[in-house]
Amino acid sequence: MTEPTTSEVAPATSTGTDQPLRGVPVSDVSAFSNDLNGELLGAPAARELFAHVYMLDYAYYKGRPWKSVQTKRFSSIRPKSVRRGWEKQQDDRKQREIVQRMQQEMKDEIKLEKEKKRAEAEERKKRKEENERRAEVVQLVSAAKVKRMKKKQLKNLRKVGSDVSGSTVKRRKGGK
């Protein structure tokens, strides 16, 4: 066998597709050793092995054999006609800031309205409870009578306080 020179390039092709992968200098390929008998692989076998390894590492990395390895930034590849000028970028940035400020103002207004409605509802609820308390009938019930009452009857009573004689003042719920 002849020793491959560094100028030769392995035609690394992926198996199963007709698209060739990038060529690799043979000097990099011929260093693979054969695990079966410990000898160095010949150039054709090494090329095939390297093509297989290359394919696994790059071509089928994410299951997309048609993709190539990106070498340049996308911004440098784009044509000049697609690029926006500095002034245009600044104008767009200002427009975005204006729109964001307007959106934030609208959100703040909605938040304030909700807060007002919540406070008004809370105030209405307090007034309603106060009015219900004023409308309830108050009557004195002795402690002995309370002890004799059943659970259902006790649910309709609420303790308000106690008077000097020791009997408990109860309010009947519902204003009856």
Kindly report the pTM of this predicted structure: 0.39
- Mark 34-55 as b/e (b = at least 16 C-beta within 10 Å): eeeeeeebebeebbbebbeebb
Residue 146, pLDDT score: 83
Q: Which tens digit of pLDDT belongs to each residue from 121-165?
A: 999 999 999 998 888 777 778 888 888 888 888 887 777 766 655
